[in-house]
């Protein structure tokens, strides 16, 4: 095994479906209001794929953009990790189909399922492969088309989610830039709080199950909210403490975008302005595994991250899972943003 080395982000990309669904659009199909959605979640609109579109198709432009921004050819990618809880198929992995469509002929490819923490889990796996010298360039995708698994008669869940894909290329660092730690965790006792009861190998999609709408995503929003509000603060605390840092050393937090109130609560706990947290939930809703890489890409486009900055990627959600990764930013500034 080669010496341990740091992984740095050298390319990013994102893609969204064109179709916009506003809160007013949802008012027409479910018992909700624009005012409730904005005040309880911070969401104004989200994107939705249309009939005939797939997660694979949506992910291709984001992946190509990330590889081009990293100044790499597709055949230089050693590994593709696709984080998603809405893959096109249970088999084959979306990562394998993407490998083919991108022409990444030398890349191994697999899917990873850690729901809304998927991108942080996948980035942490990429970090280990690069640290050991097993891989040089790893393409990490976070992508979900959750509108495909939503029950549009259930107001508790259908207003919260949108579709999108974000991508990042991790490569070996030259100096002290890059991801310098990662903390992943799970509280499996809360697994049933975010669940699709039917359609996996445990329960087949019988006519009765489908009639009962059990093939759709079910969430226990209250419980997930309680978990998320506490865990975000706890993992920021732990990460800062074990690296002898304070929040003043952190330039920007790129959190999973589930609910603006979760981020406001974390800002309050640390007595810091909400501006320390990058927020775009108003435009996209909760895009699950895509939310962090999309937010990262947009933060770069807005010039909010510069060389030497320390940023924190923070994920939390289904599983229940959580994860945090601190990165000392390198030279990458996103030429196509």
Binding residues vs ligand COA (CB under 6 A): 32, 36-37, 40-41, 116, 155-156, 159-160, 194, 219, 221-222, 224-225, 228, 258-259, 286, 317-318
In angstroms, give the least distance from the CB of 78 to ligand COA: 31
Cα dist from 280 to 24, 94, 314, whole Å: 19, 26, 15
Instruction: Output the smallest distance, CB 39 to ligand COA, in A.
Output: 9
In angstroms, what is the minimal distance from the CB of 236 to ligand COA?
17
Nearer to ligand COA, 99 or 287 (CB): 287
Contact between residue 321 and residue 83 where contact means Cβ atoms under 8 Å apart: no
Q: Which is nearer to ligand COA, 36 or 110 (CB)?
A: 36
Q: How far is 111 from 258, CA to CA, in rounded Å?
A: 22
The catalytic residue among 23, 69, 259, 286 is 286
Spatial separation of the C-alpha atoms in residues 308 and 159, rounded to whole Å: 38
Task: Please report where in the chains the tokens 């508790």 appear, as a residue.
Answer: 156
- Judge contact between 209 and 274, C-beta under 8 A: no
CB-based closest residue to ligand COA: 221
Nearer to ligand COA, 124 or 146 (CB): 146
Residue 19 annotated as catalytic = no
Query: Pairing relation of β-strands 178-179 and 321-328?
Result: antiparallel
Q: How far is the CB of 219 from ligand COA (least distance, A)?
A: 4
We find the least distance from the C-beta atom of residue 289 to ligand COA, in angstroms, to be 11
Angle, alpha carbons 81-84-87 (nearest 5°): 105
Catalytic residue among 193, 256, 259, 297: 256
Strand spans (E) along the chain: 7-15, 20-22, 45-47, 79-83, 108-112, 138-145, 163-172, 178-179, 183-186, 194-195, 218-219, 252-255, 310-317, 321-328
Active-site residue (options: 69, 104, 116, 259):
116
Q: Which is nearer to ligand COA, 55 or 159 (CB)?
A: 159
Residue 116 bears catalytic tag: yes
Catalytic residue check, 23: no
Nearer to ligand COA, 10 or 228 (CB): 228
Name 203's Cβ contacts closer than 8 Å, sequence gap at least 6.
Answer: 197, 209, 214
Q: Do strands 79-83 and 138-145 pair parallel, antiparallel, or not at all (unpaired)?
A: parallel
Catalytic positions, written as ranges: 116, 256, 286
């Amino acid at each position: 095994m080669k010496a341990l080395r740091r992984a740095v982000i050298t390319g990013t990309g994102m893609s969204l479906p064109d179709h916009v669904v506003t809160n007013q659009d949802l008012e027409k199909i479910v018992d909700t209001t624009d005012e409730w959605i904005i005040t309880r979640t911070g969401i104004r609109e989200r994107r939705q794929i249309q009939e005939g579109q797939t997660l694979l198709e949506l992910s291709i432009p984001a992946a190509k953009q990330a590889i081009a921004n990293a100044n790499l050819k597709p055949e230089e990618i050693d590994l593709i990790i696709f984080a998603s809880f809405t893959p096109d198929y249970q088999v084959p992995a979306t990562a394998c189909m993407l490998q083919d469509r991108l022409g990444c002929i030398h890349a191994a490819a697999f899917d990873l399922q850690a729901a809304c923490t998927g991108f942080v889990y996948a980035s942490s796996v990429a970090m280990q492969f690069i640290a050991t010298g097993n891989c040089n360039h790893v393409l990490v995708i976070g992508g979900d088309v959750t509108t495909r698994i939503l029950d549009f008669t259930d107001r508790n869940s259908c207003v919260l989610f949108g579709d999108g894909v974000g991508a990042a290329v991790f490569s070996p660092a030259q100096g002290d830039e890059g991801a310098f730690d990662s903390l992943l965790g799970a509280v499996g006792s809360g697994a049933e709080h975010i669940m699709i009861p039917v359609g996996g190998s445990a329960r087949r999609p019988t006519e009765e199950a489908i009639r009962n709408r059990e093939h759709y995503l079910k969430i226990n929003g209250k419980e997930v909210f309680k978990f998320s509000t506490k865990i975000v603060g706890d993992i920021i605390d732990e990460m800062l403490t074990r690296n002898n840092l304070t929040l003043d050393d952190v330039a920007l937090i790129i959190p999973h975008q589930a609910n603006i109130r979760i981020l406001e609560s974390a800002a309050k706990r640390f007595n810091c302005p909400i501006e320390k947290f990058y927020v775009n939930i108003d435009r996209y809703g909760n895009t699950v595994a895509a939310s962090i890489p999309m937010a990262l890409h947009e933060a770069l486009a807005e010039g909010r991250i510069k060389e030497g900055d320390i940023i924190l990627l923070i994920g939390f959600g289904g599983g229940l899972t959580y994860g945090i990764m601190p990165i000392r930013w390198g030279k990458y500034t996103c030429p196509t943003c």
